[in-house]
Copies of this chain bind each other. A is one copy, B any other.
Amino acid sequence: MRIILCGFGVVGQSFAKLLESRSEDLYARYGLKPRIVGVFDRNGSATDASGLDISRLIDAKKKYNSVKKYSETKNNASGIEMINDLEAEVLIETTQSNYKDAEPGMAHIINAMKQGMHVISVNKGPLALAFPSLMELADYNRVLFRFSGTVGGGTPILDFAKNSLRGERIVSFDGILNGTTNYILTNMADGMSFNNALSDAKQKGYVEADESLDLDGLDAAAKLVILANWIMGMKVTMPDIKRTGIRNIDSDDIKHATEKNCTVKLIASCNKELIVAPREIAADDPLCVSGTLNAISFTSEQSGTQTIIGRGAGGIETASSILRDLIDIRNESTKT
């Protein structure tokens, strides 16, 4: 299975290392023999039809902040050129999310699908802005489109709702889908001011370069779009979400919540309307998790409410979700 990897940051590198360390096991258990034939980042690219050497790739990235010096051959192919010219079965899109035009991820995904490649995206941008049409494009080109890592990182939230709850009708859900705001709100509940909690989160490296993605609920809203489409069969995009971030939460709000034995959390909910907004959650509700944890409660017709909790992000967790998608694609594509 030949793979093109878009982006070689924390997630891309974690995934490459994971593939390497698990190679024997993947072949023995799943008949999976993946090799990365092309990688590109902002500054250049590296290709080898017989499979790139992962350690050399990581060394090059470390030394030159790009994979372009992987070999001495000049390699100036742009991402799109690589996707159009290099033979591969799967494209893995790990470049950064943005919710303005979702580029360059959007172009990578569209071109790969048109080339007949299956696509795994951990980039939420294209999904948030164009989920329904990307699904159609995948169907039209008869390729598989997977994105487990976009919601919950390594915690298989999408898979749980889609597969483990099969035979059930999910009627609504509520989730804490952004670990950064949860960390800030947890610290505020412990007495910190918003500004101090934000500085602390920044210092720990939890906040996106564009802090608006976390604080204004864009990240949570993108995940809500994905859940609504994938789990509830809705056809919605970013503008369909009513969104309020956490910038206006102050210590009074926190105090009022505490008096009722509640905590303020940024909740993404699907129950007739799609809403991202701060809400008071009872302290003994399983959804009420602290720190950077993510949690989501699905309410279904027969089985009541079921909550799944886990770390929401992290390179190795997301890499593990990509691997899960790759195994899926292998299983699905050999069926036909």
User: A residues near B, CB below 8 A?
Assistant: 18, 30, 153-156, 159-160, 163-168, 284, 286, 289-290, 293, 295, 302-311, 314, 316-317, 319-321, 323-324, 326-327
With a cutoff of 8 Å between Cβ atoms, the chain B residues found around residue A327 in the complex are: 166-167
A164 to B320, CA, bound (A): 12
Tell me how far the C-beta of A158 lies from the nearest C-beta in chain B, rounded to whole angstroms. Answer: 9
> Chain A interface mostly helix, strand, loop or mixed?
mixed
B167 touches A306 (CB 8 A): no
B309 touches A304 (CB 8 A): no
Asked if A302 meets B154 with Cβ closer than 8 Å, knowing A284-B290, A307-B309, A309-B286, the reply is yes
B317 touches A155 (CB 8 A): no
Tell me how far the C-beta of A305 lies from the nearest C-beta in chain B, rounded to whole angstroms. Answer: 7
Contact of A317 among B153, B304, B324 (CB under 8 A): B304
Tell me how far the C-beta of A34 lies from the nearest C-beta in chain B, rounded to whole angstroms. Answer: 12
Asked if A304 meets B308 with Cβ closer than 8 Å, knowing A167-B327, A320-B167, the reply is no
With a cutoff of 8 Å between Cβ atoms, the chain B residues found around residue A160 in the complex are: 156, 160, 164, 308
Tell me how far the C-beta of A257 lies from the nearest C-beta in chain B, rounded to whole angstroms. Answer: 17
Tell me how far the C-beta of A147 lies from the nearest C-beta in chain B, rounded to whole angstroms. Answer: 15
Tell me how far the C-beta of A330 lies from the nearest C-beta in chain B, rounded to whole angstroms. Answer: 10
With a cutoff of 8 Å between Cβ atoms, the chain B residues found around residue A289 in the complex are: 286
B310 touches A309 (CB 8 A): no
Residue of A303, A305, A326 with highest tally of chain B CB at under 10 A? A303
